[in-house]
Amino acid sequence: MKTLPFHRRATAATSIIALTAALLVGCTSDSGSEDGVTTVTFAASTFGDPGRGPQLLEWLDEFNTSQNAIRVAAAAVPYPTFGQTVLTQMGSGRGPDLIRFDMPEFEAASEAGLIAPLDDVIDVSKYKLLEQPDKFMIHGGVRHGIIFEASNYAMFYNADLIPNPPTNYQEFFDTARSLTKGDVFGLAFRQTEAEEAGVWQDIFNYVYGFGGAWSDGTNLTINSPKNLEGLQAYKDLYDANVIPRGADAATFRRMFAEGKVGMELNNGGYVTATRGQNADLNFSVAPIPFPVRSQGSILAPIVINKASPAQDAAATFIRWALEPENQVKLQEILGASSVATVTERSAESLQETPFLTVFDELTPSSLPQIVLGFEAKTPDIRKVVVQNVIAALQGTVDLKTALDRAQQQATELVG
Q: Is the pLDDT of residue 113 over 80?
A: yes
pLDDT tens-place string over residues 237-264: 999 999 999 999 999 999 999 999 999 9
With respect to residue 119, please indicate whether it lies within any of the assigned structural domains: yes
32: β partners: 39
Q: How confident is the model at residue 50 (pLDDT cuts 50, 70, 90)?
A: confident
- Report H helices in 167-297: 169-179, 196-209, 225-239, 249-257, 270-277
Instruction: Note the pLDDT of residue 140.
Output: 86
φ, ψ of residue 162 to 5 degrees: the values are -130, 90
* Shared-domain flag, residues 168 and 286: yes
Question: DSSP states of 70-111 as a string?
Answer: EEEEEE---HHHHHHHHHHHHHTT-S-SEEE--HHHHHHHHH
Report the percentage of the chain scoring pLDDT > 70: 92
Q: Is residue 234 part of a domain?
A: yes
pLDDT at 400 over 50: yes
Lowest-pLDDT range of 66-70, 244-248, 344-348, 380-384: 344-348
pLDDT for 301: 97
Q: Do 168 and 242 have their domain in common?
A: yes
DSSP state of 280: T
Which pLDDT belongs to residue 32? 60
pLDDT of 106 above 50: yes
Domain match, 80 and 213 both: no
Structural domain range at position 221: 152-296+370-414
Residue 226 has pLDDT above 60, yes or no: yes
The average pLDDT across 182-186 equals: 97
8: pLDDT strictly greater than 70: no
Mean pLDDT in residue range 180-205: 96
pLDDT at 148 exceeding the cut of 90: yes
pLDDT classification of 109: cutoffs 50, 70, 90: very high
Same domain, 345 and 286: no
Helix or strand (DSSP H, E) at 300? strand 295-304
Q: What is the mean pLDDT of the chain?
A: 91
In a domain, 48, yes or no: yes
Of the chain, the percentage scoring pLDDT greater than 90 comes to: 80
- For residue 340, the domain's CATH number is 3.40.190.10
Q: How many domains does the chain have?
A: 2
Indicate if 320 and 290 belong to the same structural domain.
no
Distance (Å) of CA 196 to CA 81, 152, 309: 10, 20, 32
Same domain, 130 and 231: no
231 falls within a domain: yes
Q: What is the pLDDT of residues 116-133, one digit of tens each?
A: 999 999 999 999 998 888
Q: Is the pLDDT of residue 363 over 90?
A: no
Same domain, 325 and 291: no
Q: How far apart are alpha carbons 302 and 139 in whole angstroms?
A: 14
Across the range 33-53, mean pLDDT stands at 88
Q: What is the pLDDT of residue 14?
A: 37
pLDDT at res. 15? 39
* pLDDT tens for each residue of 308-360: 999 999 999 999 999 999 999 999 898 899 999 999 888 998 999 999 999 98
Residue 306 in domain: yes
Is residue 359 one of the residues assigned to a domain? no
51 or 87, greater pLDDT: 87
| Whether residue 410 sits in one domain with residue 312 | no
215 plus 280 within the same structural domain? yes
For residues 275 and 177, state if they share a domain: yes
406 and 267 housed in the same domain: yes
Q: 0.85 cut: is pTM over it?
A: no
pLDDT exceeds 70 at position 22: no
Do 226 and 266 fall within a single domain?
A: yes
pLDDT at 80: 82
Instruction: Identify whether 361 is part of a domain.
Output: no
Distance of alpha carbon 12 from alpha carbon 167, whole angstroms: 43
Residue 255 domain-assigned (yes or no) = yes
